[in-house]
Amino acid sequence: MSEYIEHDRSGNSVGIVEKKSHTFAAAPDELILDSGARLGPITLAYETMGTLNADKSNVILVTHALSGDSHVAGYYSKDDPKPGWWDIMVGPGKGIDTDKYFVICSNVLGGCMGTTGPATINPATGRPYGLDFPVITIGDMVKAQKALIDHLGVTRLLAVIGGSIGGMQVVEWAISYPKMVASAIMLASTIRHSALAIAFNEIGRQAIMSDPNFNKGDYYNGPKPDLGLALARMVGHVTYLSDDAMRSKFGRRLQDRDSLSFDFDANFQVESYLRYQGSKFVQRFDANTFLYITKAADYFDVRQQHGHDSEVKAFAGVQAKFLVISFTSDWLYPTYQSRDMVKAMKKNALDVSFCEIESKCGHDAFLLPNERQSTLINRFLKRIYEEENDAL
């Protein structure tokens, strides 16, 4: 039996999200994946915020990136130290205004935050899948989300929105389910994972798979490949920042000392920051999920998967109105990649707005408070909502 685990927002003013868990017979019992493999039953963890209106025309699907989850915004309780991962954007009166819109965010397929992934028990063996979990694609993640949206009785999404790997899901939605997507907002992302981006992911995967605790992915009953996963996270963190951001955030400042220590301890703040980020990440994330999600990102290429080697062809059937946002200092998915996509869309006469936001924060910029980003998204959604309702 498959299930959806739902966490929905209780609606109180401090933005506290109440955890709930439901089991639905409508959840996909089996998905046929892009690889041809079959996977099932599938559990999807998701959270909602805001109120679904009567005609279900105010639904926004938020898609998360590598380390995100379904907990997009708000707090679970007053003791909760941190809100959801995109609290700067999602909430009452924010860029994605939950007083107006009904927001859904689900943990991706292959994830480790409630949705079926490599740590899930494989019904065929009674043990966690580990590397028996099939390699999935961005398309497979979207197929699972589609089942959730169907299950909720929603036939059209006002918007699908996400950054980074979440942005890839946005594009996949617009291409795969053109009639269901009124608009698509893609931030700091790409439609074709570059050699540079693949290289960093591969280094992260090699770090995990080289860890002696990795044990071919079968580590759930023993010590975990924490050192490898921490290294992978450290590499990731550097790619999320920019030279500029690191200069202003750390520079050459020393950690808790006045002079160089002449040893291999963390002398510089940037060293201790990375070590801290690495060690914190392993407490909440599954190394196998890191492997599967990065592989899905590396495989992502709309030309190859949807366009017979042409991105123009890939967007041929798309109907969604697009807002594409890139950031000047993002060197993981640089602006030229967004521009290439926008060009391909324009050749299909799509309604696309593009904005490169000046930022020193690198790839991570979409996760950080930015008035311009919030305003752009807020206005775009308002316009789409009006156009959708005018059209009725």
Q: Which residues bind a second copy (CB under 8 A)?
A: 35, 37, 131, 134-135, 192-196, 198-200, 202-203, 205-207, 209-212, 227-228, 230-231, 234-235, 238, 241, 243, 246-247, 249-252, 260, 262-264, 266-268, 270-271, 274-275, 278, 291, 295, 298-299, 301, 304, 331, 334
Annotation says 363 is catalytic: yes
Q: What is the dihedral of CA 82, 84, 85, 91, to 10 degrees?
A: -120
Q: Write down the least CB distance from residue 226 to a second copy, Å.
A: 9
Query: Which residue, 173 or 214, has its beta carbon nearer to a second copy?
Result: 214
In angstroms, give the least distance from the CB of 78 to a second copy. 36
Told to judge if 272 belongs to the known catalytic residues of this protein, a careful annotator would answer: no
How far is 392 from 312, CA to CA, in rounded Å? 30
For residues 140 and 157, what is the distance between their CA atoms, to the nearest angstrom?
A: 18
- Dihedral angle of Cα 317, 197, 227, 365, to the nearest 10 degrees: -80
Cβ burial, residue 328 (10 Å; 0-12/13-18/19+): middle
Q: Which of 2, 57, 106, 164 is catalytic?
A: 164
Given a contact cutoff of 8 angstroms between Cβ atoms, the answer to whether 277 and 234 are in contact is yes
User: Whole-number minimum distance, CB 100 to a second copy, in Å?
Assistant: 39
Decide: 115 and 45 in contact? Cβ < 8 Å.
yes
Catalytic member of 242, 330, 359, 364: 330
Task: Specify burial of residue 319 (Cβ count, 10 A radius: 0-12, 13-18, 19+).
Answer: middle
Rounded distance between C-alpha atoms, residue 30 and residue 48, angstroms: 24
CA 90, 92, 97, 100 torsion-angle sign: positive
Single out the catalytic residue among 71, 193, 306, 363.
363
| Closest among 225, 229, 230, 30 to 116, alpha carbons compared | 30
Please say which residue, 19 or 199, places its beta carbon nearer to a second copy.
199
Q: Which residues contact 122 (CB under 8 A, 6 or more apart)?
A: 128, 129, 132, 133
Least distance from a second copy to the Cβ atom of residue 272, Å: 9
For the question of residue 164 being annotated catalytic, the response is yes
How far, in Å, CA of 289 to CA of 131, rounded? 10
Integer Cα distance of 378 and 362 in angstroms = 22
Helix (H), strand (E) at residue 230: helix 226-240
Q: Between residues 69 and 330, which has the closer beta carbon with respect to a second copy? A: 330
Q: What positions carry a catalytic annotation? A: 164, 330, 363
